[in-house]
Chains A and B, each alone.
Chain A
Amino acid sequence: AQSVTQLGSHVSVSEGALVLLRCNYSSSVPPYLFWYVQYPNQGLQLLLKYTSAATLVKGINGFEAEFKKSETSFHLTKPSAHMSDAAEYFCAVRSNTNAGKSTFGDGTTLTVKP
Chain B
Amino acid sequence: EAGVAQSPRYKIIEKRQSVAFWCNPISGHATLYWYQQILGQGPKLLIQFQNNGVVDDSQLPKDRFSAERLKGVDSTLKIQPAKLEDSAVYLCASSLNPGTANEQYFGPGTRLTVT
Min CB distance A86 to B, Å, is 17
Please report the C-alpha to C-alpha distance between residue A51 and residue B103 in the assembled complex, in whole angstroms.
Answer: 11
The size of the chain B interface, using a CB distance under 8 A, is 29
- Say how far A104's CB is from chain B's closest CB, in angstroms: 3
A45 neighbours in B (Cβ, 8 Å): 106
Task: Decide: B91 and A44 in contact? CB cutoff 8 A.
Answer: yes
Size band of the interface chain A makes with B? 20 to 34
CB within 8 Å: A-B pair count? 71
Contact stretch, chosen from B14-22, B41-49, B64-72, B74-82:
B41-49
Check if B98 sits within 8 Å of A100, measured CB to CB. Answer: yes
Is B61 positioned at the interface, with any CB of A under 8 Å from its CB?
A: no
**Chain B residues near A (Cβ < 8 Å):** 4, 31, 33, 40-45, 48, 50, 55-56, 91, 93, 95, 97-101, 103-109, 111
